[in-house]
Copies of this chain bind each other. A is one copy, B any other.
Amino acid sequence: MRVGVVGLGHMGSGMAASLLKAGHMVTVYNRTRSKADALVAMGAAAADNPADACRGEAVITMLASDDAVRGVVEGREGILAGLPRNGIHISAGTISTALSAELTERHAKASQRFIAAPVFGRPEVAAHGQLFIVAAGAKDAVAAAQPLFDAMGRKTIVVSETPKAANLVKLSGNFMIATVIESLGEAMTLVEKGGVSRQQYLEILTSSLFDAPVYKTYGNLVANRKFQPAGFAAPLGQKDIRLTLAASEELEVPLPLANLLRDRFLALRALGGDDLDWSAISELSAIDAGQPSS
């Protein structure tokens, strides 16, 4: 297929590479153009603006915020202007359900199609075409995009015909991760103050019921209490909790855990933690217990 990829961070670049390897014709665009170089060397074409990346049947956006998505969708050189009739915009980033609903409507008015297809997995997973993709959108659109999903992911689950449902799943997934971080922060502070080492406690957890990547990855961060460099920075984690809360408000679902996480991120940022990994919210349990990191 002919497909554009807009947004060439670590994730977007990995996804574009997977598409190229699978034989698709890929046009890439990034605001900072140099990020396209490696992909051009692999066979991609470089676009001058988002609209230029929309000459094929589909365009994939992989951007970090609602504002960034708006920036490539709107305007004369934007995706809405550039995408052909029946063209498909696949949003792969973590955006709000509200923006997803808005794009669904605006693309429909422009006789285009919109799919939300947020991904689970890290950059290296993306580069190997092994992402886990959660998609939602009109059946025909999802079917048409399937070859692209197959190139980028090891598995695609379609959860709804309404795109924003997929964004909700992605947001709630990040919310689940943040609850794991918080629970590790509280439990490790408790046992450490009771005389048990954090590392030993983590070993116990992951040797039993908690033998999962999320506990191993974040458990090590929380046990070692080193939050730099940030794999996923605190402001990004905060944004996802904010979007989760916004979705819960629209759906009228109380979420006490998300509220607690909201406050944790506010406290972390108030204490100067903008550059830390989001798992640093676990330190707040220790601070409240009079056990700040040395």
> What residues on B are CB-neighbors of A162 within 8 Å?
195
Please, what's the 1-or-0 string for A161-187, where 1 marks a CB less than 8 Å from any CB in chain B? 010110011001101110110110011
Known: A270-B252, A289-B267. A176 touches B205 (CB 8 A): yes
A105 on the interface (CB 8 Å rule)?
no
Give 19 A-B contacts (CB < 8 Å), ordered by A residue: A132-B208, A134-B204, A155-B207, A157-B204, A159-B195, A159-B201, A168-B194, A173-B205, A176-B183, A189-B253, A194-B247, A208-B213, A209-B217, A248-B266, A252-B289, A256-B263, A259-B259, A259-B262, A270-B290
Q: Say whether chain A's binding surface is mostly helix, strand, loop, or mixed.
A: helix
Count contacts on A: residues with CB < 8 A to the other chain: 79
> What residues on B are CB-neighbors of A97 within 8 Å?
194
Complex CA gap A288/B252 in Å reads 9
A229 on the interface (CB 8 Å rule)?
no
Complex CA gap A253/B189 in Å reads 7
Number of copies: 4
Shortest CB distance A195–B (Å): 5
A32 on the interface (CB 8 Å rule)?
no
* Contact of A256 with B260 in the complex, beta carbons under 8 Å: yes
A257 on the interface (CB 8 Å rule)?
yes
Complex CA gap A186/B178 in Å reads 13
* Contact of A191 with B168 in the complex, beta carbons under 8 Å: yes
A190 on the interface (CB 8 Å rule)?
yes
Shortest CB distance A57–B (Å): 27
* Contact of A254 with B176 in the complex, beta carbons under 8 Å: no
Complex CA gap A288/B284 in Å reads 9
